[in-house]
Structure 1
Amino acid sequence: MNREDLADLNAFMIVAEEQSFTRAASRLGTSQSALSHTIRRLETRLGLRLLTRTTRRVATTHAGEKLLGTLAPALDAISSEIASLSDLSEKPSGLIRLTTSEHAATSILWPALKRLLPDYPGIQVDVEIEAGLSDIVAERFDAGIRLEETIAKDMIAVPIGPPLRMAVVGAPGYFRTHPVPETPQELSRHHCLKLRMSTSGGVYAWELEKGRRSLRVRVEGQLTFNNAAMLREAALDGFGLACVMEDQVMDHVAAGRLVRVLEDWCPPFPGYHLYYPSRRQSSAVFRLLVEALRYRS
């Protein structure tokens, strides 16, 4: 196998993973036309059709799927060996791919990266921000960041942030025409701002807890968003009550722009964790990231 073969096979694997020439070209740092030429060249050399193209997506043929099954573990092993070589240098270097939610990225990940990266210019971090849960093995992420309760049990999970709390808030103007709720049952008489979950498409049921009582309240209201920042903005403008992460609204509560209610029904819960497969080889770069993120109470 020559260098050209290896590069072409890697390009094929990226297209197969992304199911899109556009996304694959962006990931590889090349043009879509150049990538299409690379795949045609590989298919011609092998005498096999590896990919089928439709107007919406790219899929592997039977031959392509068989090749991908052999190729992915082999290239993963090569990548791991190359990554391990950074242990021999004074300044570890290499690429780390992460998947995370928006809130975790802004509140946990970015503050840690700001501290870490200036001292290690050879480290590259590729961050994909998404609301849903990715299969980090199938999609070739090194690790993910999510709440502990959502992480599969076969993953190693490292706490990287403090306990979190939800906060139910509304604008002072809203409460001039609506009574302050003292129990979750009273939420049925209020305009509530709903959050649509990207993973399921369903609307988030507010999870409230007090002592041994735990409730999932399906609220009603005029507005539904799939973004917590928009819930906060709508609450600030007086359109109803929002249930969001505490740290997203406490500045507004302190300034009197929002009023917090049902605080005794919002206990702390375990915060964000970095998770990764137990079989993942721990390179120097990855160990640096884990230590930079690790939560120390």
Structure 2
Amino acid sequence: MARENFNELLAFVTVARAGSFTRAAAELQVSQSALSHTIRALETRIDLRLLTRTTRSVAPTEAGTRLLATLAPRFQEIEAALLAVTHLREHPAGSLRIGAPTHAAATILLPVLARLLPRYPDIRVAIVAPDAPCDATIRLGEHLARDTVALPIGRDLRMAVVGAPGYFARVPAPALPQQLTSHSCIALRTGAAWTFARDGYPVNVRVDAQLVCENAAQARLAALAGLGLAWVLEDVVQEDMARGTLVRVLEDWCAPFAGYHLYYPQRRPHDAAFALLLDALANDAATDRP
């Protein structure tokens, strides 16, 4: 059946229920003449009279009564389905899996969820490892894979090279990134290459780490224990530097870089729960920008 024929069926059901072309036209927001034309087209196409018209009323014929008995419940089901969708908009529900490293979860995702989830108790969120199967992933940078959307959700970030005062009491502080090769460095499992830049001049230093940690939180603790120099995100050690328990070096070589982005498939359907999370993350990012 052609798609436009459903409009004819809806017109027939509306007229038959209303018992009047005038009331049905007002309900459908069309003219009486257009509605009459639609009904005639339907009757001509199926070669059956569906409505009996008088000067005072309109009533279904026997064929019309049978068709109405079949169609009316179907249109009611469609109306109920649309109402249910509206209910989901007002009371969003669903489950989301978001891949996020520990730092991104703590500084970006959890503050948003702390406001979002109490308002929408039917939304469920699982925070998983960045490489686990998920609906969206939070990562640094803005490198797009094919058919992927990258939504900026965080301000620019900086790295910091830090060590404990006790460590620098034993070893002179490095003045250049290249001098890190002669220091005890605390690397992360994700890689031993530390990247620096100054005045547009990049320097990559591959440190020979005696200690390798799983994440920045462990590297911070190792640096506090005097085990060497850690290269971590600035805000991970901001309070330690303010207290003097960690000392920063090579600050002028640590240039800002693009912060966290939320990556998700371009063709992913935006259900209510996912749309709410996108909006909340985007709004937070806009507020956080200088």
Q: Which of the five TM-score ranges fits, normalised by the shorter chain? A: 0.5 to 0.7
Query: Is the Cα–Cα contact under 8 Å of residues 142 and 261 in structure 2 kept in the other structure?
Result: no
Instruction: Please tell me whether the aligned partners of residues 189 and 212 of structure 2 are also in contact (alpha carbons under 8 angstroms).
Output: yes
Deviation at 1:237, TM superposition (A): 0.8
- C-alpha distance in 2, partners of 1:89/1:293? 18
Amino acid at match of 2:196: L
Larger Rg: 2
Q: Which of residues 248, 271, 274 in structure 2 aligns to 1:283? A: 271
Q: 1:62-211 maps to which residues of 2 (within 5 A)?
A: 85=85, 88-130=88-130, 133-134=131-132, 139=133, 141-197=134-190, 203-211=191-199
**Kindly tell me: are residues 287 and 122 of structure 1, through their superposed partners in 2, closer, same or farther at Cα, counting changes over 3 Å?**
same
The amino acid of 2:92's aligned partner reads P
Corresponding position of 1:217: 205
Structure 2: distance between partners of 1:151 and 1:182: 36
- Name the CA distance, whole Å, in 2 between partners of 1:142 and 1:240: 38
Deviation at residue 145 of structure 1 after TM alignment: 0.9
Q: Could you tell me whether the CA contact under 8 Å between 2:157 and 2:234 is conserved in 1?
A: yes
Aligned to 1:42: none
Tell me the TM-score normalized by structure 2: 0.66
CA, structure 1 residues 110+278, in 2 after alignment: closer, same or farther (shift >3 Å)? same
For 1:2-17, what aligned pairs fall within 5 Å after superposition? Answer: none
**1: CA distance, partners of 2:238 / 2:265:** 35
Q: What residue is the counterpart of 1:270 in the other structure?
A: 258
Q: Could you state the TM-score of these two structures normalised by the residue count of structure 1? A: 0.65
Q: Percent identity?
A: 50
Q: Is the 8 A contact 2:186 2:210 kept in 1?
A: yes
Q: Secondary structure at the match of 1:193?
A: strand
Q: Give the whole-Å Cα distance in 2 for the aligned partners of 1:146 and 1:94.
A: 23
**1:129 partner letter:** A
Cα RMSD for the two superposed structures: 2.0
| Counterpart code for 1:268 | P
Q: Confirm or deny: 8 A CA contact 1:87 1:284 kept in the other structure.
A: no
Give deviations 1:80-117, integer Å, cap 9, x for gaps. x99x9366442211111111111111111001100111
| Conserved 8 A contact 2:158-2:256 | yes
CA distance in 2, matches of 1:121, 1:86: 17
Counterpart in the other structure of 1:43: none
In 1, distance between residues paired with 2:86 and 2:104? 28
**Counterparts of 2:161 and 2:224 in 1: how far apart (Å)?**
12
**Could you tell me whether the CA contact under 8 Å between 2:147 and 2:267 is conserved in 1?**
no
Shift of 1:150: 5.0
- Listed as ranges, the gaps of 5+ residues in structure 1 are 1-80, 198-202
Unaligned regions of 5+ residues in structure 2, if any?
1-80
Distance 1:87 1:287, change over 3 A: farther
Residue aligned with 1:243, SS: strand
